[in-house]
Every structure is written in structure tokens, then in C-alpha cells.
């Protein structure tokens, strides 16, 4: 069972944050098919948010085909997002570590690294679309 958290200052709507956290967990294999998502009651009992927010998030996940609600029982994961690409995570992570090391050695601070990455990421994404 995963546990949610909320970043009040992220500017992302709470229900979006919940969706993102579920998708993230799915991707990392922390959530697998058939796992139960925390009940609405448990989530609001922990986060002190409106139950509607959780319901909205779970409905959206259902709509995305990732989960399904069983009345009276709970909401369960129906599909996983992690796929074969999980195997590639290991080497990719290694490469990333090396790159980060080089960036630091070149004198970039955290903000510059992040800006450089996001810029390049967006540019490449744009090229992919084009």
C-alpha cells in the first residue's frame, strides 16, 4: 500500500498530485496489478483533504484505465505502467550519475543543472513532435 503526501506549495492541484504519485509508484513498480489503493477514508485521515479530491483522483485513474473501483471493497490497480523499460533504468541511472558528476565538476550549481536539463528536455520533446 502506498502512502500519499501533499505539497501545498507546488502549484499543482491536489488531485493531480495524487494521480501523479500513483502513476509514479506504478512506474517504479511500487504498485502492481491487483494492489489496493488506500481507501478514501484513510487518505483524508492522513492528509486532511476533502474526500471529493481523492474521489476525483481515483475516478481519473479509472478513466485512464489504471484502476477500478469495487463497491464496498476498495479501489484496485488494474494496469501497471512499468514495462520492459524498467530493465533499462539501471544503466540509465548510472549514465545520469556520471553526467551529474561532470556537470558539478564544471561548476554548475543545482539551479543551473535543472535549468539545463529542463531546457534540453523540452527542446528534444519539441523536436520529437515536429
**Which residues sit at the interface with another protein, rule CB under 8 A?**
6, 8, 11, 14, 39-41, 44-53, 55, 58, 69, 71-75
φ and ψ at residue 30, rounded to 5 degrees: -75, -25
Q: Which is nearer to another protein, 73 or 130 (CB)?
A: 73
Q: Which is nearer to another protein, 50 or 94 (CB)?
A: 50
State in angstroms the smallest separation of the CB of 34 from another protein.
16
Q: What angle do CA 26, 6, 115 make, to 5 degrees?
A: 80
Q: Which is nearer to another protein, 71 or 126 (CB)?
A: 71
Amino acid at each position: 500500500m502506498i502512502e500519499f503526501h501533499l505539497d501545498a506549495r507546488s502549484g499543482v492541484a491536489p488531485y493531480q498530485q495524487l494521480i501523479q504519485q500513483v502513476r509514479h509508484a506504478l512506474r517504479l513498480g511500487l504498485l502492481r496489478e491487483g494492489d489496493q489503493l488506500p481507501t478514501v477514508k484513510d487518505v483524508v485521515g492522513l492528509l486532511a483533504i476533502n474526500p471529493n479530491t481523492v474521489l476525483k483522483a481515483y475516478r481519473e485513474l479509472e478513466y485512464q484505465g489504471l484502476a477500478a473501483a469495487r463497491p464496498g471493497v476498495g479501489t484496485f490497480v488494474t494496469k501497471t505502467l512499468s514495462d520492459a523499460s524498467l530493465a533499462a533504468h539501471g544503466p540509465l541511472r548510472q549514465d545520469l550519475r556520471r553526467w551529474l558528476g561532470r556537470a558539478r565538476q564544471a561548476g554548475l550549481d543545482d539551479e543551473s543543472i535543472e535549468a539545463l536539463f529542463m531546457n534540453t528536455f523540452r527542446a528534444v520533446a519539441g523536436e520529437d513532435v515536429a
